[in-house]
Amino acid sequence: MSDQIPQHAPSWPGSEAGMPAPPGWPAPAPRAHRASRRGVALLVAGILAVSAAVGLWAGTSFGSPGTATSAASGTAGVPASPDAGIVDITNFARPIGQSSDNLVPAGAGTGMVLTSTGEVLTNNHVVRGAWKLEAQVPGGATYTATVVGVDPSHDVALLQLSDASDLATIVPGDASSVAIGDEVAGIGNALGRGGAPAVANGSVTALGRSITASDPNGTSEQLTGMIQTDADIQPGDSGGALVNAQGQVVGMITAGSDRTASTGGPTIGFAVPIDTALSVVDQIQSGNGSDTVLIGERGYLGVAVKAMDPTTAARLGVSSGALVVAFDSGSPAEAAGMTAPAAIRSIDGQPVPSIDDLGPLLHSHVPGDSVTVEWVDASGSHSASMTLISGPAV
């Protein structure tokens, strides 16, 4: 069974991560109740699409329902230092058309330290669209992070912190031993506030779940084999730890529901089993890329896209495609003469029926590769070879 989880992006993309809007950004739109993969607008590598990164927060203590606590205090069933190996991650995006030195914080998430020298596991959607990443040890040093590799199909990313040493690491558990009814806790960066991670207690309510997460632009991703929990997962916890009663990490927090006092409803959170996430990490570390595991930089067209809407489709005389709405100055697409709005119809002869199909076709390429792009804009149908450049994380 698949759970459709709609998303919402405010005017200022960092607002749902608890970040104030910088000068020039409009105030966020009023928020309505929804079940969602909530969070921040990020720029997708290769296509500069608006994406929603799950921002999740653990707000209650483990073993003490209804009482807010920080992880540093320690609670029943949680080790004295459950925040060991947890880091806060900030994603810095570059608004379309702006210079590379005009970066703004676009989202906050969580990461789990795997090695003392700074390898960090997190969600792909936490780093997606980043032109710069920073990771801070709660109460400690801040490091610049680079993306070693990602697997969007499992929402996994591996980062390397620059000049890191002697870092505390997480203790992985065995996700295959997790059973319905087990007590668990979610630990992460509450609403992007930083400091000692927050803890949300709960239990495992289902296993092997499949979910579909879609964002406001119409892109979506399907995740399978998820651990479901009733822990109060909230924005900022993405990439954080779902731990068992022994403090071992059994899952990586990935998605959560939105619940308000007026509407009520159950709390639902989802986590990637840690065994699944670490198997992806092993593949990235080995340097063996694949159709789903992407290592190093990916090629970038420099266009902002969204799902095709009927009105624009009628104007362009198309029935499908990825809708281009803006360009980076000097981007390969702009240099080739593309104008907005435009519908990208194919890449190297491979059809692009929707926005979901564009990213994978571009992500198989690295900067310097040339691709043949077919598109339709106000002046008609076109085809041109474009040399991809370096861009943000995918």
In the residue annotation, 363 being an active-site residue is answered as no
Which among 8, 125, 154, 363 is annotated as catalytic?
125
The strand pairing partners of 247, in sequence order, are none
Active-site pick, 83, 155, 215, 232: 155
Q: Exactly one of 153, 238, 346, 364 is catalytic; which is it?
A: 238
User: Rounded to whole angstroms, what are the CA distances from 375 to 96, 338, 362?
Assistant: 20, 8, 15
Tell me the CB-side half-sphere exposure of residue 82, using CA atoms within 13 A.
35
Distance CA 285, CA 66 (A): 41
CB 217 within 8 A of CB 305: yes
Does residue 155 carry a catalytic annotation?
yes
Locate the DSSP E strands across 6-85: 39-43, 50-54
Are 211 and 226 within 8 A, CB to CB? yes
Reply yes or no on whether 125 is catalytic: yes
Query: Which is nearest to 59 in space by CA: 258, 217, 221?
Result: 258
- Residue 168: is it exposed, middle or buried by C-beta count within 10 angstroms (0-12/13-18/19+)? middle
**Which amino acids are annotated catalytic?**
125, 155, 238
